[in-house]
Structure 1
Amino acid sequence: MHPLLNIGVRAARRAGDLIIRHINQLDAIKVDTKGRNDFVSEVDRMAEDDIIQTVRRSYPDHAFLAEESGASGDAEFVWIIDPLDGTTNFLHGFPVFAVSIAVMQRGRLEHGVIYDPMRQELFTCSRGTGATVDGRKMRVSDTRVLASSLIGTGFPYKEDPESLDPYMAMLRDVICQTAGARRPGAAALDLAYVAAGRLDGFWEIGLNIWDIAAGALMIQECGGIVTDLGGRDGWQQSGNIVAGNPRIHEALLKLIEPHLTPGLRR
């Protein structure tokens, strides 16, 4: 395992343990509201601080882009951190959430870790070497047609007709033309599941880079494709993402294309 990935795994496991220690103390956890349907708890902040401290012990000069503390430092290597993806799930005791950590070097994603502390499943990847779940090699599914596919998604959480109304039209078509749609509420895990072949595809609108960086690299390392809604390589900038095995990715793009507004095509 690459030394950077090894530190990422250590940091993710430590953060996951911290999160689990608080799962039975939900009533006592302080929660702030960042926006509508957008919450941050003291557990998010503690987990993020612990990840950053773990990395800094080995790489004191590296930079960070973290969900709660933002950007810090200016370096060749940047650690992209979502300390608790699925905060709303966690705060309700709904057991679907994860720690997501990616490492970018000179603007290119190189390593990724997604850790599910409830199931103690560890997903890892490094550019050019593939991806694993608990040490076992992963590959995207070989599902060839939408009618047989299981598709993951996430609902837009902002009251924005520019995205919500088109999204609902997309969801309707996906429900009608696939074997099923799933919305567990933690995008990092959804993307890891695409990489592992548990989901055949995934799409969502308005995510942040820390939600998707690690999972997107995993999918690419497992033979899948990741683009924005228009099929281009703009997902890091827009936060709009379509992912899947090659056939399902292509079919998903065709399915959602009629519902794209000018803003969603950018």
Structure 2
Amino acid sequence: MCECETTSDLYYDTVLKLTKEAGKLINEKIKIRNKKREIKSSNIDLVTETDQAVEKLLIDGLLREFKDHKFIGEETVSSGGEVKLTDAPTWIIDPIDGTLNFVHSFPHSCVSIALFVNQIPEIGIIYNPMMNQLFSARKGKGAFLNEQQIHVSDIKDLSDALLMMECGTSREVERMNAVYENQKRLMPIVHGLRSLGSAALNMAMVALGGADAYFEFGIHIWDIAAGEIIIREAGGVVIDPSGGALKRFSRRVLCASSQELAEKLSQELVQLYPEPDA
């Protein structure tokens, strides 16, 4: 085994252990009905003490082992931290993706964490502890659900596609109009529409083959970083909704089981261009 593989194993083993610890914390706290929370951009864009505790657990644990690593964490950024991806090993963290679900004890929330090295995703983990779903991927090693390899579906036509889409956490008129218009356009031409309330879990469903495509405007890099590598390692594609290459800080994403399906979906969408993160 070469040194790079040994290092990658250490990164993966360390983050997997910490993610499972974070999952235990989430499972303990989701049982509390009246969770303390704060409003961020709107009364449906929330942060809880558990979000903050999980992010601290992950960052502190990784820093103990890898003192030179960098971090982009949702709660760190919302408190004024920098959104900057360099060539240094960088962990991108959403401590609880699906916070609104978590607040309501709806069991579709997850830890989403990815490692980028030289601005390329190397590791991705999406863990929904309530449903015991642990999705993972490492560059060149495939994608897995609970250690069983997974693969995207073979769907290529919109008429056969189960599509994931979200209302998002904004009530800006332009954003809502785009959501309504896309729902109106897509509902008659796809097999069905679904929403889990979590970008990371929507992407995990595409990787699993349970859904065939997903798009969203207004997400952030921490929502999609782990999902990107998991989908790619499962044989799928992740692009910009306009049809070009993914721009990770553009707050836009489209993923699908195939390039053909991705392009067909892109051509149907009313586009929205939120203010980018960087």
- TM-score bin, normalised by smaller chain: over 0.9
- Residue 205 (structure 1) aligns with: 217
1:111 aligns with one of 111, 114, 123 = 123
- Residue 228 (structure 1) aligns with: 240
- Residue 44 (structure 1) aligns with: 51
Match status 1:77 vs 2:84: no
Matches within 5 A, 1:73-222: 76-222=88-234
How far does residue 131 in structure 1 lie from its aligned partner after superposition? 0.9
| Structure 2 unaligned blocks of 5 or more | 1-7
Match status 1:260 vs 2:271: yes
Task: Give the secondary structure class of the aligned counterpart of 2:163.
Answer: strand
Matches within 5 A, 1:24-39: 24-27=31-34, 29-36=35-42, 37-39=44-46
How far does residue 93 in structure 1 lie from its aligned partner after superposition? 1.2
Cα distance in structure 2, aligned partners of 1:75 and 1:226: 21
Task: Give the secondary structure class of the aligned counterpart of 2:179.
Answer: helix
How far does residue 75 in structure 1 lie from its aligned partner after superposition? 7.2
How far does residue 249 in structure 1 lie from its aligned partner after superposition? 1.3
How far does residue 185 in structure 1 lie from its aligned partner after superposition? 0.1
- Residue 70 (structure 2) aligns with: 63
Cα distance in structure 2, aligned partners of 1:42 and 1:89: 15
- Residue 251 (structure 1) aligns with: 264
Cα distance in structure 2, aligned partners of 1:25 and 1:252: 40
Cα distance in structure 2, aligned partners of 1:241 and 1:75: 22
Percent same amino acid at aligned positions? Answer: 32
Cα distance in structure 2, aligned partners of 1:207 and 1:97: 15
Task: Give the secondary structure class of the aligned counterpart of 1:185.
Answer: coil
Cα distance in structure 2, aligned partners of 1:32 and 1:260: 31
Checking the alignment, whether the CA contact within 8 Å between 1:44 and 1:83 is kept in structure 2 is yes
Q: Residues 75, 223 of structure 1: CA spacing in aligned structure 2 closer, same or farther, 3 A cutoff? A: closer
Alignment root-mean-square deviation, CA: 1.9
Task: Give the secondary structure class of the aligned counterpart of 1:2.
Answer: helix
Cα distance in structure 1, aligned partners of 2:265 and 2:180: 15
TM-score by length of 1: 0.92
Cα distance in structure 2, aligned partners of 1:260 and 1:102: 27
Q: Residues 75, 149 of structure 1: CA spacing in aligned structure 2 closer, same or farther, 3 A cutoff? A: closer
Cα distance in structure 1, aligned partners of 2:122 and 2:89: 10
Q: Which amino acid aligns with 1:215?
A: G
1:9 aligns with one of 3, 16, 20 = 16
Q: Which amino acid aligns with 1:187?
A: A
Following superposition, which runs of at least 4 residues in structure 1 exceed 4 angstroms of deviation?
71-75
Checking the alignment, whether the CA contact within 8 Å between 1:62 and 1:78 is kept in structure 2 is yes
Q: Deviations along 1:206-257, whole A, 9 cap, x unmatched?
A: 101000000011111111111111112243121111100113212211221x
1:19 aligns with one of 12, 21, 26 = 26
Q: Deviations along 1:97-148, whole A, 9 cap, x unmatched?
A: 0000000112111110010101111111111221111111111101122111
Task: Give the secondary structure class of the aligned counterpart of 1:230.
Answer: coil
